[in-house]
Amino acid sequence: MDSVAFDSNRPDHIHAATGIWNAACGPDLSFSERFMRFNTDPAYWNGHGRHQAGQIAVIDGQPVGFVLASALKEPYAEPPYSGHIDALAVLPAYQRRGIGRALVAWAERWLREQGCANVSVGASVRTFVPGPPVELGSALFFAQRGYSRNGVCCDMARDLAGYTTPATALKARGVTVRPAQPEDRAALLGFLKREFPGGWYWECVQLLEAGSRISDYVILLSERGVDGALLVTFEDSYRPLDRFYPRRLPRPWGQLGSVGVSAECRGSGYGAALMDGALRYLQARGVRGCVIDWLVLVDFYAKFGFEVFRQYEMVNKDLQIGIA
């Protein structure tokens, strides 16, 4: 087996890696080349504290497998860093020949060189999957490589045709829920920086800088200003919907992110009001199949008629820095 460094500027590498993933994971978990370009975009990665690299396994001149790995450093994280195997796949006809094992070994070596003390499968900042999808059965492969399984997270979904506001969303008083407008930018970023200074704040900064429309954020306004926000995705959003693997659901598809409400306002029904406002916004725009991704606590979303749609293993491993 030969291997070449994955180069996201090369259309043939994007094409090969997308084709390998789609063949290995099947139609329900397939994605487009646009999504592969988005998740490996060189304008996003490298040189900004965000580092990603990959390898393509080649046999007889044909790409047969690939791995992508990533790590966040300053200003997002302090050493020792946490790393990710963003995505890994081998063509079905070439599985069980040691290719996956070699690609994982390469990724772990690269992550150690980056100063990572541990590695998670999936769950990277430009997410392919939150972890190995349960339906693929690949958690066992990682267990054999010394990875621990730390439970399961899930996506939930429902058809928004016929959605009506549940009683739980009628409790909040004196709040407005609506899509954010350009003049809300500073207040939205201020809210996220105050309440969710980790991933959600940086995600919003990056999305708005990249030209994502601000109305994909639905905000909750109390008398204090922005006290809640969540991100939605439409088929024409900057962030590709492929990420949520909605193919089994009726179109048009949509997605809704986790609900974020100011710590001191929790327990006042704001989260439910925000969820309902976002669901009605998606419904008014014609969305049918709607996914809420990467959840552990399902009860809150079940109140809005969502059911578990897909499950992912949460898998990680400690890396001994300095030991190859």
Site residues (CB under 6 A) for ligand COA? 24-25, 87-90, 95-101, 121-122, 129, 132, 136-138, 140-141, 144
105 vs 187, which CB is nearer to ligand COA? 105
88 vs 116, which CB is nearer to ligand COA? 88
36 vs 121, which CB is nearer to ligand COA? 121
133-170: buried (b, 16+ CB within 10 Å) or exposed (e) per residue?
A: beebebbebbeeeebebeeebbbbbbebeebeeeebbe
Q: Minimal distance in Å, beta carbon 258 to ligand COA?
A: 22
Q: Minimal distance in Å, beta carbon 19 to ligand COA?
A: 12
- For residue 96, which phi and psi values (nearest 5 degrees)? 60, 35
How far is residue 25's CA from residue 22's CA, in Å, rounded to a whole number? 5
Q: Minimal distance in Å, beta carbon 36 to ligand COA?
A: 13
Q: With beta carbons less than 8 A apart as the criterion, state whether 98 and 3 touch.
A: no
Q: Minimal distance in Å, beta carbon 126 to ligand COA?
A: 13
67 vs 275, which CB is nearer to ligand COA? 67
129 vs 188, which CB is nearer to ligand COA? 129
- For residue 246, give Cα distances in angstroms to 98, 256, 280: 32, 12, 19
Separate counts of helices (H) and strands (E) for the chain: 8, 13
- For residue 299, which phi and psi values (nearest 5 degrees)? -60, -40
Q: Minimal distance in Å, beta carbon 92 to ligand COA?
A: 8
In one-letter notation, the amino acid at residue 129 is V
Closest residue to ligand COA, judged by C-beta, is 100
